[in-house]
Amino acid sequence: MNDRALMWKNLWRKPVRTILLVVSIMIAFLIFSGIISFNIAISTFNTLPTRMVTLSKVNFTQTLPIAHYERIAAMEGVAAATHMNWFGGYFQDQQSGFLPVFAVDPETYFQVYSEDLQIPAEQREAFFKDRASMLVAEPVAERYGWRIGQRIPLQSNIFTNRNSGNSTWEFTLAGTIPTPQGSSQSGSVLIHYDYYNETVTFGRDRIGWVPFLTKSADLNDQVAAAIDGRFLNSQDETSTQDEETFNKSFTAQLGNIALVVSLVVGAAFIAILLIVGTTMALAVRERTKEIGVMKTLGFSSERVLRMVLGESMLLSFLGAVLGCGAAAGLLSLASGGGGPPIYFAPIVLVYAAIIALLLGLVTGLGPALAAYRLSIIDALGRR
């Protein structure tokens, strides 16, 4: 029987105890990988270092005059600019049918967000040509079963449609946008600004914000300063930031999520660290006599140390693998429902491996050293 087999046998000599330990380690890793994946999903966006956004200095919910867009587009160092409006859209039900609908200028929008808008040319052309058409993220179309060419009534909780006199607009679905994780288009619905602007009863010729590309990321600060300086002391002062800074501050509005995540994950791991550590110590103490026998038979102290440490490592990695697996399974199950899907983040596996290694070391080191130091006489004499 080799050492590995012996380790495995030792691990399962009290199966109930081992199962309980594996379950508790599994749960800590389940919480860890679930929460970290969630945190990564809400805080990671595909960003371009050259993509920036100009908003009202007062707050991003305050609109800007359309003239701002034209001035920004003509600024030195700006490669391409577009503009977006929040439509306050929903489908059928205001609570459950909420949709992030944006009124955009199609051609420039495709320039600024080109990398996330890889759609078939005929869909793109159909969208460009028909002013009353829309593009939607694939998961949105799937969720409501919309097909290309179908006319979909969307409602706005802000604006009134001049043509119909109520808050409903009809749009033809021109195409769908694939949205891998982190896509800037995830969940979004794009409509034509011109069509929106002509049909709203108020708020005309105002835009929400201006995303644009700079010619080089080195120019970012310079361009931002030039834009904000251009509108300084006007009615509509601006604040220009790179895309990543803006996204981060938006997520930060929810609260100090990073702090809450570390506290919860910390609590879960401290709890299992104590449970596993003390149980391992007990397991080795129970085996004192055996260790004495093994040493009598010629097992070296180092070999005994390796075996105890190996056992705690085995336990720790078993729990980690099961926990990460459970998290991946649950996340993919949960993403079937409404809301943007949360993907299991592969980077979690790296963290989990490091934590499992540390957990195995910390919980196994004490008992392993005790076994290492144990003299045969003490071991066989102890009751």
Instruction: Summarize as ranges the residues that interact with other proteins (CB under 8 A).
Output: 16-17, 20-21, 23-24, 27-28, 30-31, 57-59, 61-62, 88, 94-95, 157-158, 233-237, 239, 248-249, 252-256, 263-264, 267-268, 270-272, 274-275, 277-279, 281-282
Q: How far is the CB of 231 from other proteins (least distance, A)?
A: 10
- H or E element: which one contains 17? helix 15-43
Distance CA 25, CA 326 (A): 12
End-to-end CA distance of the chain: 27
Q: How far is the CB of 246 from other proteins (least distance, A)?
A: 9
83: nearest Cα among 100, 61, 107: 107
CA dist list (Å): 170 to 37, 164, 191, 197:
37, 10, 11, 15
Pick the closer one to other proteins by CB: 58 or 217: 58
Pick the closer one to other proteins by CB: 217 or 252: 252
Q: How far is the CB of 360 from other proteins (least distance, A)?
A: 17
Sign of CA dihedral 116, 122, 123, 126: positive
Q: Which residues pair with 81 in a beta bridge?
A: 212
Q: How far is the CB of 252 from other proteins (least distance, A)?
A: 4
Q: How far is the CB of 209 from other proteins (least distance, A)?
A: 13
Pick the closer one to other proteins by CB: 275 or 357: 275
Distance CA 214, CA 379 (A): 73
Pick the closer one to other proteins by CB: 112 or 327: 327
Structure tokens at 125: 């052309």
- H or E element: which one contains 238? strand 238-242
Pick the closer one to other proteins by CB: 67 or 267: 267
284: nearest Cα among 303, 302, 304: 304
CA 214 to chain centre: 27
Residue 271: CB atoms within 10 A of its CB come to: 13
Distance CA 157, CA 199 (A): 15
Pick the closer one to other proteins by CB: 182 or 366: 366
84 phi, psi to nearest 5 deg: -135, 150
Pick the closer one to other proteins by CB: 255 or 336: 255
Alpha helices (H) in 188-300, listed in sequence order: 193-199, 220-230, 243-252, 257-286, 288-296
Structure tokens at 221: 């600060």
Q: How far is the CB of 158 from other proteins (least distance, A)?
A: 5
Distance CA 139, CA 4 (A): 48
Pick the closer one to other proteins by CB: 219 or 261: 261
Pick the closer one to other proteins by CB: 218 or 225: 225
Distance CA 307, CA 8 (A): 10
Q: How far is the CB of 366 from other proteins (least distance, A)?
A: 10
Q: How far is the CB of 378 from other proteins (least distance, A)?
A: 19
Q: How far is the CB of 295 from other proteins (least distance, A)?
A: 24
